[in-house]
Structure 1
Amino acid sequence: MAEQGAEAGGPPAWGGPPWRRWHGGGPPWWNRPDGDETRPRWPWRSTVAFTVFVLVGSNAAAELRKDDRAELDLFARVLLLVGAALLLWRWRRPVLVAFGTVATAMVYLGAGYPYGPVFLTVAIGCFSAIVAGHRKAAWTAMGALWVGHVLVAHWLFRWLPPGGDDAAGWGQETVVVTWGVAIVALSELARTRREQWARERAERAQAARRRADEERLRIARELHDVLAHSISVINVQAGVGLALLDSDPEQARTALITIKAAGKEALGEVRQVLDTLRTPGDAPRTPAPGLDRLPELVEQAAGAGLTVEVEGETPKLPPGTDLAAFRIVQEALTNVVRHSGARHVRVELDHDGRELRLRIDDDGPATGTDVGGGNGLVGMRERAAALGGTIEAGPRADGGFGVLAVLPVRAPREVEEDR
């Protein structure tokens, strides 16, 4: 992930908790003010601060070691300015900055100038390279710094200013190595945390997309069940009304009344579904339908020419299971109206305290339309699967079509806890 961002020449994909999550995925100075996030902004403020610190600190170090190191001159200050100015490119060209700061630091030390915060630019340059994913380049730059320091301090010092300088002690090399290891370790920790935050951010985004997809699927399934049933009833009654308009106006009037009632009910349920979109998180204004409205389905089916016989008592169910059971019965009756020539349907309810068994059988015959080719059975299976239940549907051996739904009354987790 980090390597991809580095290869693209762009910023690393910063993530993290809210107090570290900046707009566009980078530090606050990262995104351009014109909205172009393909290139980072220039870190002027931090670079100016580093430059001032390096110059002031180097002057202080020169005062402390004026007797045994070369005096800061124009060339020294130019080197310090160049090393600090390179930090402006630390997010755009991290490898160049890492090696550039090391090179300026080595020239500075080789010229005999006093030790001081000149190493700060090296630390920041290598830190930026590691965090951007250029680990090998940063390690190589740090290794080159140590090798160059060994050469200057223990061999080349004879020919380099200041005159009469002695070789540095090997204990000083231990300090340099420790300092380099600390910088690399801190950089690797920052890189690891950044990648972890980026993964967490991607997982949260994926979870949000999954929840949105599930919600869209739920709403689509709900609208399908509502509209398919109501439109099927309206279609049948419209056909009856047209057929009897001249010969039996009173019966045609009854069909029109049924159409009006079915349309009003469909509008009410569609409005209830849409309300959940307009006010997410709010409690619904009307209760979700359940098996207590089974008599309404029976009455509507009777208006479509079906005789529905209900066996078993309507149990008290949790809202989710109650809604799923109602929609399964509704969809099964809709399929009978649309795809079957049956005139009799039997609905059996069997509840044992742990699961609800719903059986909807019609006496056929099928009209030749593929009952499994639409979204009805798919929606029923999805509703049952969401509760941990099952759906079996298919032609019966003695003719007709049957649907068997088994729905757990409690969530699967609660059942496992009882076991």
Structure 2
Amino acid sequence: MRDPDRPMLFNIVFWVVLLATGVIPFAAEPWPGSGAPVFALNLVLVAALWLSLPWRRVGGWRRPLPTAFMLATFALGYTGSAEVHILLTLLAIANVAFVHSVRTAAVILGCLSAAAFATMAVLDGDALRAMVQVVPVFVFALFVLGMVSAVLEARRLLARVRELTVAEERARMGAEMHDSVGHHLTLIKMNLENAERFRTRRPEAVWDEVREAKEMTVAALADARRWVRALRPLALEGRVGSAALEGLAASFDGTGLSVSFEVVGGEPSLDPDVELVLYRVLQEGLTNAVRHAEARHVDGTLVFDGRRVVLVVADDGSGRDRDSHGGFGLRSLAERARAVGGTVVSGDRPGGGFELRAELPVRAKAAT
């Protein structure tokens, strides 16, 4: 019932149509004694198969279920349905396309249409009437396949966009990691080279160089730990939503930064894409506060307001560099927020420091 891969609208349509398929024949006319049990078993079979249907490519025993479901819905027309079951067959065709391919579904559709036409033409003795009944269903089925094809293409493009986003984010973070950790390692190398050069001429200066190298090592280690935190996945130890954000804020303890995090309002179930944007906004605000703003304290506030969620990350640091027009990280966040129907803005606070503010819908807008 709660299969995340199955479109919710399909679920609603299926149960409504199945109920109508079972009720209308009884309401239309009295059942002959021999037909009702077969029809009832057919309905039970269709319902059982629906609950087991996969909606993505799978292997094993579930792979043939879409074809079995299609045949079971098709059989309703012969066991007693008053043609109401046709919508169930259209759903079955869509399911075959999702699990196998649009081409496979089209082949099966062609075979079923030919079989239905031949059966009706033989039983009724009227080929024209059979064609009039089969062709509209065939056309609607082609429309369904077209819609499924569009959904599958949208899924493919969305997966590709996410892959590119991850690659872009990793490239950005790799470059920044190289600049920060690489800078410290370069200074450590220079200190050790100086210590080696001074060991005979200026022995007293050797320990100064070693001490500075030690301090740089501590700084490089702290920087590396911050990047490890920044690269953590969204679910920290199984937590999501505000719990994941609180975990991210707590993970910056020990970096010299004091972080407070507050949640205001009742928390609804967040769209995964919205949740990811919130996580990245807090991550960017905390990382920038440590690396650039020389901040000592950061306040994070997550406010749930009906259909909106607002995240504010404010620090007491030096504010934005006057020569800076917003780095890649902030521009990337703004683009992500627009993609889900929200906004991310940033700027200096009136009392000093820097503020990052995200306003997002609880449910991400549909892609257009």
TM-score, normalised to structure 2's length? 0.50
* Larger relative contact order (CA 8 Å, sep ≥ 6): 1
Greater Rg by CA: 1
